[in-house]
Chain A
């Protein structure tokens, strides 16, 4: 082969001085703003949807939407959703789905309620709930991953199975936990700080930590790669099954926290605890801009999606429309967001 056909591999660095060559590589765009927008377009799109929606509500009923009361009630219930929306972003990115989290919420919070009712410290109850959530997540994940089952169907089945178990054992009876109100755990996790429900601070912390886990941690990187191309991930030595089981365990942990928080809001555990969260939480993930096909997603977008979804219900009623409009608006926002994300996000193959 002739010499001309063999370009010296070190040539490029010889011609251009290194620092300037390095500079060329530094950032994809001429301006950091553009780079930021490109990197976060899904989350920003969701934010835009939220802002437009709130503007519409405010125009419809300015008085209600400028009162703090409305926001306080949203800030109390929103955290519960956030604790499951965020782990679900990981699951969906990984190319799976988990529909069993409502039952896990119910189950873990049941364990919490049992421990508290037996007279132990609520902190012990929280620890027990977390362990329960982890174990259930591991069980569901193992069933899907090692059993080679479709996560859509298998987790749906597990949701029914676990909920059924709760119902059979409790025969529909709830548990009142009045002793909670003067416990340390309540003050730390469920009271108010400067008039703001303290849950939201914990939830924000959880979102920030999870976003770092997703974008800046080995776990998140492997979740994305596995969801993108599991064969490649395996060829590069990633334990694909282990990563998949881990995301289900993460959902279990999130569901346990969510369930415990919801019990602490009401001082009561119901055998149906968590049931109502299935559809709003799933909607939040996709409204947030995480696509269904795996490989990419956004934790912050999911969180904004959760805020959007939880404001729809409150907003529709507060705007003076009858409750009959809630489902209609839910659907409208979901469809509009999906259309927006489709236009906003290219799918690479």
Chain B
């Protein structure tokens, strides 16, 4: 039985009148790849921001390795071995690649002074590892000079630097080319092979179906489905289910509703 790495219990989050999440449960076991699916605005990013301590839930409980935590924060979650690639990448674009990779986790020595050479060394090792070997860019290049995909590479490099136990990827492949996307999936498999876990958010259900061991479908702030991969025959099944959740009665129903609305005017 795999160890339960992290568990979110009955998480709710409201922004004023907007209910982003209403009582969501989510758990990730060691060595597991969980695919988190859902429409735009379903609350996926909100959920993983709560997991990574950036957003405080309105109510609910967070358990790390079975123990409930209090005072959960971004710093605490990183200490606990959770690294996140946020949807907005969370980069400081006027800073160098090195400064971004070591943001909030500076390598320091004497009296808190930076170990600059060590940082540069580690950064170039990382960038080579994720296949980021352009000759034009160096660890000391400014992130603002990089393309969208290259910036994403920096965010991913930052997440893999410390062999994190859980890596959260919020739509990591948007803006990536086919080869770069393949690299990300290859990386996901590597992480799983090394016994660590991934929480993967993506809109391409075929992709998520390929890599995830378990799927969680969010719909308007609630879990609509949690299922093991073995219980879903194909990506099409998953797509059909999600369509059913989003538009009960099928897309035809959507058209009918539209017509009805028009008639009502």
Query: When the two chains form their complex, are residues A348 and B78 in contact, meaning their CB atoms are under 8 A apart?
Result: no
Which residues from A are CB-within-8-Å of B88?
231-232
**Which of A11, A231, A232 gathers the greatest number of chain B CB atoms within 10 Å?**
A232
Q: B113 an interface residue at 8 Å Cβ cutoff?
A: yes
In the complex, what distance in Å separates the CA atom of A336 from the CA atom of B74? Answer: 44
Asked if A1 contacts B133 (CB within 8 A), the reply is no
**With A217-B113, A221-B114, A348-B142 known to touch, is A236 a contact of B103 (CB < 8 Å)?**
yes
A235 part of interface (Cβ distance < 8 Å): yes
Closest to A16 in B: B133
* Chain B residue with the shortest CB-CB distance to A27: B138
Residue numbers in A under 8 Å from B185 (CB-CB)? 1, 6
Interface string of B60-86 (1 = CB under 8 A from A): 000000000000011111100000101
Q: Hey, which chain A residues are within 8 Å of B73, CB to CB? A: 237
- Say which residue of B93, B114, B139, B179 sits within 8 Å of A348 (CB atoms): B93
Find the residue from B112, B135, B141 having the highest chain A CB count within 10 A: B112
Q: Mark B132-156, 1 if CB is under 8 A from A, else 0.
A: 0101001111111100000000000
Whether B112 contacts A348 by the Cβ 8 Å rule is no
Chain A residues with CB under 8 Å of B254's CB are none
Asked if A28 contacts B144 (CB within 8 A), the reply is no
A235 lies within 8 A of B54 (CB): yes
Chain B CB within 8 A of A169 CB: no
Bitwise, A236-269 to B at CB < 8 A (1) or not (0) is: 1111000000000000000000000000000000
The answer to whether B93 and A224 have CB atoms under 8 Å apart is: no
Q: Given B54, B95, B129, B182, which contacts A295 in the complex, CB threshold below 8 Å?
A: B95
Of all chain A residues, the one with the shortest Cβ separation from B123 is A25
A27-B138, A348-B142, A349-B144 known; A233 vs B182 contact (CB < 8 Å): no
Q: A31 contacts which chain B residues (CB < 8 A)? A: none
Is B232's CB within 8 Å of the partner chain A?
no
Tell me if A276 is interfacial: C-beta within 8 Å of chain B. Answer: no
Looking across the interface, which residue of chain B has its beta carbon closest to that of A217? B113
Cβ contacts under 8 Å, A238 to chain B:
75, 103-104
A208 to B114 alpha-carbon distance, docked (Å): 16
Interface string of A191-235 (1 = CB under 8 A from B): 000000000000000000000100011110110110011011111
B52, B138, B178, B190: the one within 8 Å of A25 (CB):
B138
B145 contacts A6, C-beta separation under 8 Å: no
A140 contacts the other chain (Cβ, under 8 Å)? no
Residue of B whose beta carbon sits closest to that of A346: B144
* A228: contacting residue among B93, B104, B130, CB under 8 A: B93
Q: How many residues of A contact B (CB 8 A)?
A: 43
CB-based contact A295/B128 at 8 Å: no
Q: Please report the C-alpha to C-alpha distance between residue A312 and residue B73 in the assembled complex, in whole angstroms.
A: 50
- The answer to whether A7 and B139 touch (CB under 8 A), given A1-B210, A21-B133, A235-B90, is no
The CA of A37 and the CA of B86, in the complex, are separated in Å by 34
In the assembled complex, the Cα of A294 lies from the Cα of B108 at a distance in Å of 24
A25-B124, A219-B112 in contact; A232/B186 too (CB < 8 A)?
no
Q: Is there an interface contact between A237 and B112, defined as CB atoms closer than 8 Å?
A: no
Which residues, 21 to 59 on A, are CB-close (under 8 Å) to B?
21-22, 24-28
| Chain B 79-107 interface mask (CB, 8 Å, partner A; 1/0) | 00000101011111111000100111110
Chain B residues within an 8 Å CB radius of A27: 138, 140
Question: Residues of A contacting B142 with CB < 8 Å?
Answer: 348
Report the interface size class on chain B.
Answer: 35 or more
Q: With a CB–CB cut-off of 8 A, which chain B residues contact A224?
A: 92, 94-95, 99
Whether A25 contacts B74 by the Cβ 8 Å rule is: no
B116 contacts the other chain (CB 8 A)? yes
A7 to B143, CA, bound (A): 25
Q: Is B183 interfacial (CB-CB < 8 Å)?
A: yes
Q: Are B52 and A217 in contact (CB under 8 A)?
A: no
- Chain B contacts of A348 at CB under 8 A? 93-94, 142-145
In contact, A234 and B74 (Cβ under 8 angstroms) = yes
Do B183 and A221 touch (CB < 8 A)?
no
Asked if B139 and A6 make an inter-chain contact with CB atoms under 8 angstroms apart, the answer reads: no
Pick from B103, B144, B179 the residue with the most CB of A within 10 Å: B103
Q: Given the interface contacts A13-B128, A232-B91, A235-B90, does A7 sit within 8 Å of B183 by beta carbon?
A: yes
Q: With an 8 A cutoff between CB atoms, is B187 at the interface?
A: yes
**Which residues of chain B have C-beta atoms less than 8 A from A218's C-beta?**
106, 108, 112-114
Bound complex: CA A12 to CA B130 (Å) = 9
Q: Does B250 contact A (CB under 8 A)?
A: no
Q: Is the CB of B92 within 8 A of A235?
A: no
B54/A234 in contact, CB under 8 A: yes
- Binary CB contact string for chain A from 288 to 311 against chain B (1 if under 8 A, 0 otherwise): 000000011000000000000000
In the complex where A6-B182, A24-B135, A28-B138 touch, is A232 in contact with B92 (Cβ < 8 A)? yes
Report A-chain residues with C-beta under 8 Å of the C-beta of B93: 228-229, 348-349
Known: A7-B182, A21-B133, A236-B74. 10 other contacts (CB 8 A): A9-B190, A24-B133, A28-B140, A216-B113, A217-B108, A217-B113, A229-B90, A232-B90, A236-B90, A237-B75
Query: What are some 28 contacts across the A-B interface (CB < 8 A)?
Result: A1-B182, A7-B183, A9-B131, A21-B133, A25-B120, A26-B138, A216-B113, A217-B112, A218-B108, A221-B106, A224-B95, A225-B103, A228-B92, A229-B90, A232-B90, A233-B103, A235-B52, A235-B74, A235-B86, A236-B103, A236-B105, A237-B105, A238-B104, A239-B75, A295-B95, A347-B94, A348-B94, A348-B143
